[in-house]
């Protein structure tokens, strides 16, 4: 396969000089109702780039029907289908570009220099970071809020232009580190790591009545509402709260996070449990008695009902456990 690829590249470079490279972007945004062109979803370089940049990939009225959770996927195959160039003259990279919609830019550029510069320069580093985080957290643009320190202002406002952009979230914390690199051909045009505070609007459980530590969380003690919370926090879901116990005292008005509660016991001491023993590609089942209470995910001791040595296995729901012999300690 590698040899065939090298032959194709050699033929392209020998017969036609430099091939036309088409690198699909990770994300892109177009104005509502406008057709998606090759220039929107891909970075095109090479001797015949001008011939393909304005080709329509998806009509504007079709794009709207493909939007799911704020994005419409555009595949590399769709882009290739509208590019009328011989195979030996094209070098393709990428797989899917996710396209979102933005409001149409005002036609009147007399409103001020900022509007004109924005229309000319196009997307900036900040836009690329927002688009990447929308995919990371699988939320719409209306449900994500981003703030950052003034020292990152210049970097955030840097235009992307024709560059290929690479955005990498480097962790999950109150101030999330994000690495951004812009590639202009084989040259790194921009590279910077920045920290951003990310908030997501989510349905969260809010305490109505005091919940004591180790008390069972009852349905009448909380209600759900929409609130902005840090992306680093994990709010407790309805299923996590069902039958759960509070790990600490929860005050009225407090948002219940996943770390504030713990699941109820799914196995009790003395319960009969079906244990699946995994050894390579072989899976055997045996019945054993639990020797302690356990929550889902706990690793506890068991005693086979037909005799034999005690062993430890991990509880996987009510009445079930798994023992992987290769991980047995």
Looking at residue 103, what is its pLDDT? 60
pLDDT at 118 over 70: no
SS3 assignment, position 53? coil
Contact between 25 and 42 under an 8 Å Cβ cutoff? The reply is: yes
The verdict on 79 and 138 lying in the same domain is no
Q: Report, as an integer, the average pLDDT of 18-29.
A: 84
The verdict on 39 and 87 lying in the same domain is yes
* Domain stop point among 43, 75, 102: 102
* Domain stop point among 182, 199, 216: 199
Q: Report, as an integer, the average pLDDT of 278-303.
A: 91
Q: Is 203 exposed, middle or buried (0-12, 13-18, 19+ CB in 10 A)?
A: exposed
* Domain stop point among 102, 129, 161: 102
Give the confidence band of 108 by pLDDT, cuts at 50, 70, 90.
very low
The verdict on 41 and 82 lying in the same domain is yes
- List Cα–Cα distances, 153 to 124, 199, 238, in angstroms: 11, 19, 39
Phi, psi for 318 (deg, rounded to 5)? -65, 125
**Average pLDDT over the chain, rounded to whole?**
84
**Which domain covers residue 236, as residue numbers?**
200-262
- The answer to whether position 313 is within a domain reads yes
Contact between 108 and 119 under an 8 Å Cβ cutoff? The reply is: no
Give the confidence band of 17 by pLDDT, cuts at 50, 70, 90.
low
For the chain, the C-alpha Rg in angstroms (whole number) is 28
In the numeric block, the tokens 């991990």 are attached to 314
Q: How far apart are CA 193 and CA 180, in angstroms?
A: 6
* pLDDT tens by residue, 174-218: 899 999 999 887 889 999 999 999 999 999 999 999 999 989 999
- The answer to whether position 26 is within a domain reads yes
The verdict on 296 and 319 lying in the same domain is yes
Share of the chain above pLDDT 90, in %: 44
Count structural domains, the chain.
4
Which tops the pLDDT comparison, 108 or 133?
133
The verdict on 151 and 176 lying in the same domain is yes
Contact between 160 and 124 under an 8 Å Cβ cutoff? The reply is: yes
- The answer to whether position 29 is within a domain reads yes
- The answer to whether position 82 is within a domain reads yes
Residue 34's nearest CA partner among 56, 16, 19 is 56
- The answer to whether position 151 is within a domain reads yes
Q: Report, as an integer, the average pLDDT of 64-85.
A: 85
Contact between 232 and 172 under an 8 Å Cβ cutoff? The reply is: yes
The verdict on 128 and 204 lying in the same domain is no
Looking at residue 230, what is its pLDDT? 94
* pLDDT tens by residue, 92-103: 888 888 888 776
Give the number of C-alpha atoms closer than 13 A to the C-alpha of residue 61, restricted to the C-beta side: 0
Looking at residue 259, what is its pLDDT? 92
Which tops the pLDDT comparison, 251 or 100?
251
- The answer to whether position 267 is within a domain reads no
| CATH code of the domain covering residue 281 | 2.30.30.760
Distance of CA 37 to the CA centre of its chain: 25
The verdict on 183 and 145 lying in the same domain is yes
Mean pLDDT lowest among 54-63, 68-77, 263-272? 68-77
């Amino acid at each position: 396969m590698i040899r065939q690829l090298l032959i194709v590249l050699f033929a392209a470079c020998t017969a036609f000089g430099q091939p036309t490279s088409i690198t699909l972007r990770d994300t892109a945004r177009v104005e509502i109702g406008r057709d998606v062109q090759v220039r929107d979803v891909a970075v095109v370089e090479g001797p015949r780039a001008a011939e393909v940049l304005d080709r329509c990939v998806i009509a504007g009225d079709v794009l709207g029907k493909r939007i799911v959770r704020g994005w419409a996927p555009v595949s590399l195959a769709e882009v290739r289908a509208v590019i009328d160039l011989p195979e030996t003259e094209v070098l393709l990279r990428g797989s899917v570009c996710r396209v979102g919609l933005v409001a149409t830019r005002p036609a009147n550029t007399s409103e001020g220099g900022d509007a004109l510069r924005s229309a000319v320069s196009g997307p900036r580093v900040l836009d690329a970071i927002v688009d990447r985080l929308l995919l990371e957290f699988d939320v719409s643009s209306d449900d994500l809020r981003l703030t950052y320190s003034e020292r990152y202002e210049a970097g955030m406002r840097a235009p992307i232009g024709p560059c290929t952009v690479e955005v990498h979230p480097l962790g999950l914390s109150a101030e999330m580190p994000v690495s951004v690199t812009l590639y202009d051909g084989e040259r790194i045009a921009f590279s910077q790591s920045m920290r951003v505070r990310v908030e997501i609007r989510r349905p969260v459980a809010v305490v109505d009545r005091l919940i004591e530590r180790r008390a069972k969380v009852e349905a009448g003690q909380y209600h759900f509402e929409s609130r902005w919370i840090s992306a680093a926090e994990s709010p407790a879901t309805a299923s996590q709260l069902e039958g759960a116990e509070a790990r600490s005292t929860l005050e009225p008005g407090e948002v219940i996070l996943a770390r504030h509660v713990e699941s109820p016991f799914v196995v009790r001491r003395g319960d009969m449990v079906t244990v699946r023993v995994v050894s390579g590609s072989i899976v055997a089942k045996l019945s054993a008695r639990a020797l302690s209470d356990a929550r889902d995910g706990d690793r506890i001791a068991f005693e086979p009902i037909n005799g034999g040595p005690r062993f430890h296995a991990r509880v996987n729901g009510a009445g079930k456990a798994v023992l992987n012999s290769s991980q047995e300690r």
